[in-house]
């Protein structure tokens, strides 16, 4: 249960109806998703995406404990996809401005392997860039 859901459960348990604002916060802050709305409202909105992720969901950037690479040569790396294109390294996140992003989604290792194959045992960060009407986003 997320912290936000716990607050709502506590409020209901105490006989208090949660306000719409509390409900919106619970819906807007999901463990494995950062929405454009959350990015725009954050203190990191004028930073690069790596800093925003590190501040809002640092677990996206951490290697899962105990998960090894296919070669067994160390921990598996988190893989990065930007608009469906695999990037060679997480360092590409510093090239993207936070305000240019629609959403950032993290796939846990099991789900990442299910979707992308066994080479993704460290998890996946999926970045979907914001496309204002009639404009294509800048490259990473």
CA distance 122 to 36: 25
Q: What is the pTM of this model?
A: 0.71
Summarize pLDDT for 49-93 with one digit per residue, the tens: 999 999 999 999 988 776 555 555 556 889 999 999 999 999 999
Residue 13 pLDDT class (50, 70, 90 cuts): low
Looking at the fold, whether 52 and 89 belong to one and the same domain comes out as yes
Q: Is residue 54 in some structural domain?
A: yes
Instruction: Determine which helix (DSSP H) or strand (DSSP E) holds 102, and give its type and residue range.
Output: strand 101-107
Looking at the fold, whether 102 and 38 belong to one and the same domain comes out as yes
Looking at the fold, whether 24 and 36 belong to one and the same domain comes out as no
Looking at the fold, whether 13 and 47 belong to one and the same domain comes out as no
CA distance 140 to 74: 28
SS3 58: helix
Q: Is residue 140 in some structural domain?
A: no
- Determine how many CB atoms are found less than 10 A away from the CB of residue 129: 19
Q: How many residues does this entry show for the chain? A: 140
- What is the residue range of 25's domain? 1-30
């Amino acid at each position: 249960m997320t912290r936000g859901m716990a607050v709502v459960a506590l409020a209901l348990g105490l006989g208090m109806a949660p306000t719409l604002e509390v409900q919106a916060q619970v819906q807007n802050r999901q463990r494995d998703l950062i929405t454009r709305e959350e990015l725009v409202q954050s203190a990191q909105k004028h930073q690069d995406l790596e800093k925003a992720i590190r501040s809002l969901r640092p677990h996206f950037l951490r290697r899962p404990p105990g998960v090894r690479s296919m070669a067994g040569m160390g921990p598996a790396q988190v893989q990065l996809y930007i608009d469906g294109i695999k990037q060679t390294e997480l360092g590409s996140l510093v090239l993207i401005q936070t305000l240019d992003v629609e959403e950032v989604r993290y796939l846990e290792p099991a789900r990442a392997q299910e979707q992308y194959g066994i080479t993704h045992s460290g998890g996946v960060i999926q970045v979907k860039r914001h496309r204002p009407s009639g404009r294509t986003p800048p490259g990473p």
